[in-house]
């Protein structure tokens, strides 16, 4: 249906001679210069979302009024809460909303039953429940986090109206559950009409996302191995792409229906691509550290770069993956052949190595690094292919980790507890008739945005959106709705502000205000079957709703407010702590988990940096990149030691380095010196080693130690945990 509407609209604009204007408006750069372009010249996806959500919300309100439910506004609010930009997001949020609502209903029922005559026990216990839910929400992902915060504020929504009438707690609980179920069903039914062929579309979206990311990483990698410093800057944007794509995989899985594990393979591909990019950053350090002006290496780089730069066109031309893998193996074979040739040349000079032995070793190090990068790319291409040919018999599973900020989770719990207790205190001290509405919306906003890293900014935007909803509701309540005698005109009246709110939700600069507008507007309209809302009721309820939103915003601003400086310092502390843990003998971490966790941390630093990061932010980012690179090589050294193919003396040197790293403080540069001594010893051993297998292992160890030593020296100030980092 949606495709036919879009086609009809385009045809109409073409007949009217407006297609050139439409084409210009589709250009993001042109749209930026047009005031309110998101409202008067919306994009088709935004218009489809707004129309779909508006239809579902009005349908939910009308059904609730037809069933003569006590508060139909909740049905519309539920629709706008679960409505998302993609069908997969809506399905996921609907599922977890039902789970969170059930938990919140049980807790609300329990609190009212236990403390209905003890307000000074009821509100502290409600605050503790909110704190627990909001704390755990920070430690989970996507809409599982939403389910936890929903369980928190649903207890308030259930308990607040029942605290004065505890005998009605069961009926109030069932009423709220009915509204939520009605809203979810209406949103699902309408969305299914506008999003046909979800499964095939989702598979196509997964392929397109992976294809774009693979292309970007390949081109960026070609720049990195060629020594292009600008490629390092471009890597940041790719890290953001990887994180966003990984978050979307779960939603695309929901759209695909019965799982054939395409999403698992997609996650594995993204994790491998992350490792490729991290290896590329390490390659820059190697190119700066060792001799690269070598004809053999330049030849190999040319072959590899040709493959990487042509990969985008071949992927978009749907070249069979087996052909890409064939060409990739040829490039890897070139790397390995050069390593063998150099090794043969070196072995022929034993036991009296030539004067250019160091240059030959450097060449082998670079070729070995290229070979490892291409090996990861081969794995990524295999996983990319598996997303297109997955089978229901596939049992593949893959999960990656992200950054779990326990400090942020604790702060979030404190804010939630303070907001709930503060709202309850105001209600008890003032005996405000609408005080429970005030508490309800304060906890609602606290739950919705408590999991954000910087909730102050978004809650202020939400408060502004609530003010807009109050202003619009005044005109609707007293001028428009009283004159609507039938459902048809009632729906037409509500459609205009709801569509505007839906369009605002799809515009990045007004998204939070749009969310607030669409959530608060039904609550302050109070649609009922008979009669109208009088001025006193409207003023009291609207002021309680808006002030509740403002109170939550005030609490976020005053209670443990977010600080960019504190966030950076804490992130540095956690990164360096994890770096020490990697070197422990009893802990072998997954390289993919290490990389993806640090990408999450880097993306946080970038989000807080703004459009133009300061010099301080740049140095923090450089230090975080260096820490991630050191961690990768520590994991490689752990795996090297586990293979147990090194001579005892070399193994002992590596164990000393690992022990020093496990107690690393960065003070006095002792770890860097220990690493350089170990590298010098291994170079001497490698130059006189006759066993080829052992020599290759020694070369790998030297490669990893070289990068660790270089990064420790270049980022000594950031890695020195004995004193605060002061950017130069």
For residues 572-592, average pLDDT: 78
Of residues 192 and 609, the one with the higher pLDDT is 192
Judge contact between 642 and 636, C-beta under 8 A: no
Q: Residues 381-408: pLDDT tens digits?
A: 988 888 877 666 666 777 767 777 888 8
Residue 68 CA, chain-centre distance (Å), reads 41
**For residues 329 and 374, what is the distance between their CA atoms, to the nearest angstrom?**
8
For residues 574-584, average pLDDT: 85
Closest CA to 150 of 99, 74, 87: 99
**For residues 40 and 42, what is the distance between their CA atoms, to the nearest angstrom?**
6
The whole model's pTM is what? 0.79
**For residues 606 and 126, what is the distance between their CA atoms, to the nearest angstrom?**
36
Query: DSSP readout, 274-341?
Result: HHHHHHHHHHHHHHHHS----HHHHHHHHHHHHHHHHHHHHHHTT--HHHHHHHHHHHHHHHHHHHHH
Of residues 130 and 723, the one with the higher pLDDT is 130
Residue 726 pLDDT > 90 = no
**For residues 402 and 455, what is the distance between their CA atoms, to the nearest angstrom?**
20
Judge contact between 371 and 336, C-beta under 8 A: yes
498: confidence class by pLDDT, cuts 50, 70, 90: very high
589: confidence class by pLDDT, cuts 50, 70, 90: low
Judge contact between 75 and 181, C-beta under 8 A: no
Q: What are the Cα distances from residue 275, in Å, to 270, 331, 577?
A: 9, 19, 21
Judge contact between 716 and 669, C-beta under 8 A: yes
In the 8-state DSSP scheme, what is residue 389? S
Least confident span in 222-236, 253-267, 383-397, 583-597: 253-267
Residue 352, token pair as written in the block = 């009296």
Residue 28 pLDDT > 60 = no
pLDDT computed for residue 5 by the predictor: 47
pLDDT computed for residue 59 by the predictor: 92
Of all residues in the chain, what percent carry a pLDDT higher than 70?
85
Residue 133 pLDDT > 60 = yes
pLDDT computed for residue 2 by the predictor: 44
Q: What are the Cα distances from residue 603, in Å, to 139, 453, 579, 625, 695?
A: 17, 12, 18, 11, 39
pLDDT computed for residue 530 by the predictor: 60
**For residues 631 and 429, what is the distance between their CA atoms, to the nearest angstrom?**
55
Q: What is the dihedral of CA 287, 288, 292, 298, to 10 degrees?
A: 40
In sequence order, the 6+-apart residues with CB closer than 8 A to the CB of 325 are: 378, 381, 382
418: confidence class by pLDDT, cuts 50, 70, 90: very high
**For residues 625 and 281, what is the distance between their CA atoms, to the nearest angstrom?**
8
pLDDT computed for residue 722 by the predictor: 72
C-beta pairs of 681-686 under 8 Å, 24+ apart in sequence: 681/649, 681/650, 681/653, 682/650, 682/653, 683/358, 683/361, 685/647, 685/649, 685/650, 686/361
pLDDT computed for residue 13 by the predictor: 47
Residue 8 pLDDT > 70 = no
Q: What are the Cα distances from residue 395, in Å, to 260, 264, 350, 398, 564?
A: 8, 10, 51, 10, 43
**CB atoms inside a 10 Å sphere around CB 17:** 8
Residue 176, token pair as written in the block = 């709220």
Q: Residues 29-43: pLDDT tens digits?
A: 555 666 677 777 788
Closest CA to 571 of 600, 610, 593, 614: 600
Residue 345, token pair as written in the block = 């040349």
Burial class (CB in 10 A: 0-12, 13-18, 19+), 693: exposed
Q: Residues 59-84: pLDDT tens digits?
A: 998 898 888 887 888 888 888 887 77
**CB atoms inside a 10 Å sphere around CB 14:** 12
Closest CA to 646 of 696, 608, 707, 603: 696
pLDDT computed for residue 351 by the predictor: 62
pLDDT computed for residue 636 by the predictor: 87
For residues 138-143, average pLDDT: 76
Q: Residues 526-543: pLDDT tens digits?
A: 777 666 677 888 888 899
Judge contact between 473 and 193, C-beta under 8 A: no
**For residues 108 and 369, what is the distance between their CA atoms, to the nearest angstrom?**
58
pLDDT computed for residue 279 by the predictor: 80
Residue 359 pLDDT > 50 = yes
Of all residues in the chain, what percent carry a pLDDT higher than 90?
10
Q: Residues 608-636: pLDDT tens digits?
A: 665 555 677 777 878 888 888 888 888 88
Closest CA to 494 of 42, 41, 69, 76: 76
Q: Residues 628-670: pLDDT tens digits?
A: 888 888 888 888 888 888 888 989 999 898 888 888 877 767 8
pLDDT computed for residue 714 by the predictor: 81
pLDDT computed for residue 6 by the predictor: 47
Query: DSSP readout, 186-202?
Result: HHHHHHHHHS-SHHHHH
Residue 1 pLDDT > 50 = no
Least confident span in 166-175, 241-250, 536-545: 241-250
Indicate the average pLDDT of the chain.
80
101: confidence class by pLDDT, cuts 50, 70, 90: confident
pLDDT computed for residue 106 by the predictor: 87
pLDDT computed for residue 292 by the predictor: 56
For residues 155-172, average pLDDT: 79
Residue 75, token pair as written in the block = 């049905």
Residue 473 pLDDT > 80 = yes
User: For tokens 């709703």, what's the residue?
Assistant: 545
Judge contact between 512 and 465, C-beta under 8 A: yes
Q: What are the Cα distances from residue 148, in Å, to 145, 235, 358, 512, 555?
A: 5, 34, 58, 20, 20
**For residues 493 and 506, what is the distance between their CA atoms, to the nearest angstrom?**
22
Residue 551 pLDDT > 90 = yes
Of residues 530 and 334, the one with the higher pLDDT is 334
Closest CA to 383 of 260, 218, 213, 269: 269
Closest CA to 697 of 655, 639, 658, 657: 639
356: confidence class by pLDDT, cuts 50, 70, 90: low
353: confidence class by pLDDT, cuts 50, 70, 90: low
């Amino acid at each position: 249906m949606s495709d036919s509407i879009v086609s009809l609209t385009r045809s109409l604009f073409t007949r009217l001679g407006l297609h050139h204007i439409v084409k210009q408006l589709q250009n993001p750069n042109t749209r930026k210069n047009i005031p309110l372009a998101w409202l008067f010249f919306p994009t088709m996806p935004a218009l489809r979302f707004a129309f779909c959500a508006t239809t579902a919300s009005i349908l939910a309100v009308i059904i609730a009024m037809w069933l003569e439910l006590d508060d139909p506004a909740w049905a519309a609010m539920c629709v706008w809460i679960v409505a998302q930009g993609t069908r997969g997001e809506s399905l996921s949020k609907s599922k977890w909303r039902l789970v969170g609502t059930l938990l919140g209903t049980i807790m609300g029922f329990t609190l009212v039953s236990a403390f209905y005559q003890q307000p000074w026990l009821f509100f502290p216990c409600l605050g503790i429940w909110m704190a627990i839910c909001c704390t755990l929400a920070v430690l989970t992902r996507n809409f599982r986090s939403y389910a936890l915060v929903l369980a928190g504020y649903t207890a308030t929504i259930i308990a607040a109206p029942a605290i004065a009438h505890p005998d009605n707690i069961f009926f109030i609980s069932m009423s709220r559950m009915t509204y939520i179920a009605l809203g979810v069903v209406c949103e699902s039914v309408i969305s299914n009409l506008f999003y046909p062929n979800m499964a095939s579309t989702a598979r196509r979206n997964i392929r397109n996302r992976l294809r774009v990311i693979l292309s970007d990483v390949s081109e960026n990698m070609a720049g990195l191995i060629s020594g292009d410093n600008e490629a390092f800057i471009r890597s940041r944007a790719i890290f953001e792409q990887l994180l966003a794509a990984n978050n979307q995989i779960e939603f695309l899985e929901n759209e695909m229906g019965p799982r054939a594990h395409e999403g698992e393979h997609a996650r594995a591909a993204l994790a491998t691509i992350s490792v490729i990019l991290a290896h590329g950053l390490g390659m820059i350090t190697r190119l700066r550290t060792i001799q690269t002006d070598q004809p053999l290496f330049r030849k190999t780089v040319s072959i590899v770069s040709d493959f990487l730069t042509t990969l985008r066109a071949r992927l978009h031309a749907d070249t069979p993956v087996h052909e890409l893998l064939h060409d990739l193996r040829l490039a890897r074979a070139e790397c390995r052949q050069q390593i063998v040739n150099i090794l043969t040349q070196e072995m022929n000079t034993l036991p009296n190595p030539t004067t250019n032995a160091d240059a030959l070793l450097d060449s082998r190090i670079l070729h070995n690094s290229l070979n490892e990068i291409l090996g990861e790319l081969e794995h990524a291409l295999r996983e990319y292919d598996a997303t297109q040919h997955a089978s229901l018999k596939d049992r593949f599973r893959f999960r990656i980790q992200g950054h779990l900020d326990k400090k942020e989770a604790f702060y979030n719990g404190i804010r939630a507890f303070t907001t709930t207790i503060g709202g309850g205190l105001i209600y008890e001290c003032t005996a405000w008739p609408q005080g429970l509405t005030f508490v309800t919306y304060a906890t609602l906003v606290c739950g919705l945005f408590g999991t954000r890293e910087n909730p102050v900014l978004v809650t202020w935007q939400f408060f502004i959106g609530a003010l807009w909803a109050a202003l619009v509701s005044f005109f609707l309540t007293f001028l428009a709705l009283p004159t609507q005698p039938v459902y048809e005109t009632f729906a037409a009246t509500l459609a205009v502000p709801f569509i505007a709110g839906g369009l605002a939700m799809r515009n990045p600069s007004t998204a939070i205000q749009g969310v607030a507008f669409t959530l608060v507007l039904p609550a302050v309209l109070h649609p009922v079957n008979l009669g109208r809302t009088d001025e006193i009721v409207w003023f009291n309820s609207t002021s309680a709703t808006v002030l509740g939103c403002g109170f939550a915003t005030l609490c976020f601003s005053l209670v443990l407010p977010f600080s960019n400086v504190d966030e950076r310092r804490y992130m540095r502390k956690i990164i360096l702590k994890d770096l020490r843990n990697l070197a422990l003998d009893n802990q072998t971490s997954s390289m993919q988990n290490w990389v993806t966790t640090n990408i999450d941390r880097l993306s946080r630093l970038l989000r807080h940096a703004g459009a133009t990061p300061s010099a301080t932010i740049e140095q923090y980012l450089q230090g975080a990149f260096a820490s991630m690179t050191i961690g990768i090589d520590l994991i490689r050294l752990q795996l090297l030691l586990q293979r147990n193919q090194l001579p005892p003396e070399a193994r002992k040197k590596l164990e000393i380095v690992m022990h020093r790293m496990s107690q690393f403080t960065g003070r006095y540069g002792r770890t860097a010196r220990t690493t350089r001594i170990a590298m010098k010893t291994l170079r001497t051993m490698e130059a006189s080693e006759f066993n080829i297998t052992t020599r290759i292992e020694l070369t790998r160890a030297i490669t990893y130690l070289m990068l660790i030593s270089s990064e420790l020296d270049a980022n000594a100030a950031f890695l020195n945990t004995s004193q605060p980092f002061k950017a130069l």
